[in-house]
Structure 1
Amino acid sequence: MRAACVITTLLSSFALAHPSKPRTSNDGYPNPTMEQLKDISRRADGTLSNAPPPPKLGESSKTAFQALAFGEEFEQAYFSSLLQNVTNGVPGYRHHGRFTKAELVKVLETVVAQEELHAINAINVLKHFNVPAPMPCKYHFPMNNIEDAFALAESFTMLVVGTLQDVSQTLAQNGDNGVVRAIASVIGQEGEQGGFYRTLLGRVPSEKPFLTTSVGAFAFFLHLQHDGSMGLDVKPKDQYLTFTADISAAGGAEKFLGGNGKGLYLTYFSGQLLPISEPITNVKWNKGRITFDAFFPFTENVMKGLSVAALTTSNNLTAPGMVPGATIAAPAVIQVNEKL
């Protein structure tokens, strides 16, 4: 018997960002003057590193920094929007039982400034090596209350932690040790944020003993997914989940279009486990849009907290870095959490 399912959307791995013209905030972000940068640093409770730029950066390391900059730009935009809603007393954002409005405003002002420094740091590295930095996109945030807003924040913050693991792995493989210390410090800072958001949501602050990994390729597309499906809670039990994705334009998907799903798998990242692949079932089509079920093996793998899923053409994936090459749609973000 199948448990109740949850609809989760996967984005095509060939989805495109929609860049907007760079907008300068009141503090000059993302291109502040030296005086504006000092003001950002005061609000962030710290400064950029004054260490010299790394002597070299491999090509895949440069791509990793582009993904990092893209994610940090999203976070800055999201928390700026959340800060504005809390500050202006927008309905649904007027209070939170654990903290006063003044306390939340202080926290969010600090987080916004810290995310600005994260983004500026990544952009500066790219500029140093004459690599184009991704432009901020136009974002649509569907949340209409503070509880859901922090739930979404916790989801993508922990996804950033997973992405930074992949960035670190790429740097190590390329021998680009000059920026590893800075990346490690950002991982810790994002983890602090995640623990705070989990506390706000009444969850155990520390999510897992080993936080879920991800891959940089997914970061570009995660931040375009704001239909409300990201961050939904799934019950802590074995069950089948239902997913949907438009794969009409995805490379390598042609031979699967209209088929029964044979040869397609849902592959999960959970903690530091090797990729977990489950065959898809109950396949339905609406032109190029596929809807299917896949087993969520919670019990065997203790899949509490964040899991990240991809629709793949292989189930023989023995390392996270192998998953993007076999992916035709991703990512889906799955959260399994219980209140204290």
Structure 2
Amino acid sequence: MKPLLYASSVLVGSLVTAAPLCNNITDVAGGSLPYIDKPSSISTSAVKDLQLALFLKNLEASFSQTGLTNITGWNMSGYPQDAIEVVSKVAAQEEVHVATIIDLLEHYNAEPIPPCNYSFPVNSTQDFFELADKIISVGIGSTIGLAKRLAVTDPLLIQSVSSILTVESRHDAFFRHIEGKSPNPAPFDTGISDIWAYNLALSFTVPGSCPVEIALPTLPTLNVSESTYPRLANSTEPPLREFEWDPAQMTFVAEAGKQLLVGWVNQLNEPVYTSLNITVEGKGMTAVPPGMNGAVFAAVTAQQPDNTDDLALATLAGPVLLTLS
């Protein structure tokens, strides 16, 4: 078995400087930083949102670049001849996105967030393409949430954010298609909160390696798998998923005795809740709600908020990402 794919970062000084993009990157990406007028000022909340966006983009850029380096030496048989060329363009475009956000932050004298060191569970080309779909789905969900917040506080930043979002969706469509999945599994993409996006990204960072911490809550981890509960071959019952968490975490201690639920977030719908059937301490099963397609996010909770932001605040463990179609 090949070693896992690792990515390291090197930090010089206390800030990440928006170094000029080399011609090779901009040529492959198809363009450079946007030449548009910037707002005269932005809100404090927008600075924090852009710093989180950079935290996530650093991860995506690192994954794309290190993955590109590795797949050139892995077995590419069975994949389209232009797959490496497309991944090269994805990696270059992620570099442009990183530089764009750094440029915005530096324009307002705000501190850019340096990259962490990362560890990705990738041992093959297939692993890379499968994980790319998941990582980009997190990025898409986070950017939808970012656009929602900026629409209230800093609408003049929406143009840049929305332009990045559409390119991210094209990236994900490619990775889904190359896996043999539908590139457009649902009519709407799924937005998530900043807290959920941050915690999903943390699952790929090496603990203690981030030079700058984001001021958001760190949530207990949650694992999900297909249930091994026996089912009839032609059963029309909804599929089951098994969730596992650490019951010793203070979030669960504080909610002891309450019915645990799974909150499901998909597309533009309000969260849907299903009861967890506890099988052993720290483990339970529940059915996937009907109508879930594409990227689906889930978390364990004891409350039933009607929106994703409040669900993030009520999360006991998670979130996790499930790709259901």
TM norm structure 1: 0.77
Q: Distance in 1 between matches of 2:126 and 2:79?
A: 11
**2:277 aligned residue:** 281
Contact 1:268 1:276 in 2 (8 A): yes
Describe the superposition over 1:294-328 as per-residue Cα deviations: whole angstroms up to 9, x where unpaired.
Answer: 3311x2xx11221001222311x112222222112
Alignment of 1:97 onto 2:78 = yes
* CA shift for structure 1 position 221: 1.6
**1:294 aligned residue:** 286
SS at 1:268's partner residue? strand
Q: Distance in 2 between matches of 1:236 and 1:274?
A: 25
**2:43 aligned residue:** 58
User: CA 1:94 to 1:50, structure 2 compared with 1: closer, same or farther past 3 Å?
Assistant: same
Contact 2:61 2:95 in 1 (8 A): yes
**1:41 aligned residue:** 26
From 121, 124, 132, give the equivalent of 1:142: 121
**1:321 aligned residue:** 309
**1:272 aligned residue:** 268
**2:66 aligned residue:** 81
Q: Which amino acid letter does the alignment assign opposite residue 254 of structure 2?
A: K
Contact 2:120 2:204 in 1 (8 A): yes
* CA shift for structure 1 position 82: 1.2
Q: Which amino acid letter does the alignment assign opposite residue 310 of structure 2?
A: M
From 136, 145, 167, give the equivalent of 1:157: 136
SS at 1:242's partner residue? strand
Contact 2:243 2:285 in 1 (8 A): yes
TM norm structure 2: 0.81
SS at 2:203's partner residue? coil
1:304-319 superposed matches below 5 A? 304-315=293-304, 317-319=305-307
**1:332 aligned residue:** 320
User: CA 1:232 to 1:278, structure 2 compared with 1: closer, same or farther past 3 Å?
Assistant: closer
Describe the superposition over 1:136-161 as per-residue Cα deviations: whole angstroms up to 9, x where unpaired.
Answer: 11111112121221111112212211
SS at 2:183's partner residue? coil
SS at 1:65's partner residue? helix
User: CA 1:96 to 1:134, structure 2 compared with 1: closer, same or farther past 3 Å?
Assistant: farther
From 183, 205, 210, give the equivalent of 2:161: 183
Contact 2:141 2:197 in 1 (8 A): no
* CA shift for structure 1 position 233: 8.2
User: CA 1:119 to 1:246, structure 2 compared with 1: closer, same or farther past 3 Å?
Assistant: farther
Q: Which structure 2 segments of 5+ residues have no match?
A: 1-6, 206-221, 228-234
Q: Which amino acid letter does the alignment assign opposite residue 28 of structure 2?
A: R
**1:16 aligned residue:** none
SS at 2:31's partner residue? coil
Q: Distance in 1 between matches of 2:226 and 2:38?
A: 41
Count of residues paired in the alignment = 293
SS at 1:62's partner residue? helix
Q: Which structure 1 segments of 5+ residues have no match?
A: 1-18, 25-29
Describe the superposition over 1:19-72 as per-residue Cα deviations: whole angstroms up to 9, x where unpaired.
Answer: 976358xxxxx64543x4444212211111111332232233222212211111
User: CA 1:291 to 1:129, structure 2 compared with 1: closer, same or farther past 3 Å?
Assistant: farther
**2:243 aligned residue:** 243
Contact 1:311 1:328 in 2 (8 A): yes
Alignment of 1:222 onto 2:203 = no
Deviates more, 1:182-191 or 1:46-55: 46-55
Q: Distance in 1 between matches of 2:48 and 2:303?
A: 25
Contact 2:11 2:114 in 1 (8 A): no
Q: Distance in 1 between matches of 2:85 and 2:164?
A: 20
* CA shift for structure 1 position 170: 0.3
Contact 1:266 1:309 in 2 (8 A): yes
Superposed CA RMSD? 2.8
User: CA 1:143 to 1:166, structure 2 compared with 1: closer, same or farther past 3 Å?
Assistant: same
Contact 1:309 1:332 in 2 (8 A): yes
User: CA 1:233 to 1:51, structure 2 compared with 1: closer, same or farther past 3 Å?
Assistant: farther
From 190, 204, 209, give the equivalent of 2:182: 204
